Amino acid sequence: MTSSLYQRLGESEGITAIVDDAVDRHAVNPLLAPRFSGKDLAHAKRMGAQFFCMGAGGPQRYEGRDLRTAHAGMNINEQELIATIDDFVAAMQGQGVGTTEINEVVAILYSLKGDVLRV
């Protein structure tokens, strides 16, 4: 039986570590830092971990707003989206996540672009 992406990423503990690292990277990434300055990073990490766990097949329930609503009016561009994904890749690499799983996560994140980018 094949393990779910959730299991292969280390379940809640592994995914939380990835999200925490990625949000910390966003906060210092020159392209993204202005969006995170003065924001509640602990909340962003909590919501991100819930969303990521649920999206990877975990039992968690995401309690935040849908992506389109959460990012409405932010005018996020594709360069920022790619920087966000790059930060997640670096975070996953830092956690020892395998290439197959990284590629799966990148595909999922990129598939969400229609809900995140400005319209």
Structural domain includes residue 86: yes
The pLDDT of residue 71 is: 87
Asked whether residue 67 carries a pLDDT value surpassing 90, the answer given is: no
DSSP state letters, 18-65: HHHHHHHHHHH-TTTHHHHTTS-HHHHHHHHHHHHHHHTT-S----S-
Pairwise CA distance, residues 27 & 62, whole Å: 23
Q: Which domain holds residue 62?
A: 10-116
Please provide the average confidence, as pLDDT, over all residues in the chain: 93
Asked whether residue 114 carries a pLDDT value surpassing 80, the answer given is: yes
Mean pLDDT of 46-64: 93
Structural domain includes residue 2: no
Mean pLDDT of 50-67: 92
Structural domain includes residue 3: no
User: Cβ–Cβ contacts within 10 Å for residue 118, how many?
Assistant: 12
Number of domains into which the chain is organized = 1
For 10-37, how does the pLDDT look when each residue is reduced to its tens digit (9 = 90+)?
999 999 999 999 999 999 999 999 999 9
Pairwise CA distance, residues 111 & 77, whole Å: 15
| pTM of the predicted model as reported, rounded to 2 decimal places | 0.92
Structural domain includes residue 15: yes
Asked whether residue 2 carries a pLDDT value surpassing 80, the answer given is: no
The pLDDT of residue 59 is: 94
Structural domain includes residue 59: yes
Which amino acids are annotated as binding site, given as ranges?
71
Structural domain includes residue 51: yes
Structural domain includes residue 5: no
Give percent of the chain above pLDDT 70: 97
Q: What is the CATH number of the domain that holds 102?
A: 1.10.490.10
Which amino acids are annotated as binding site for heme, given as ranges?
71
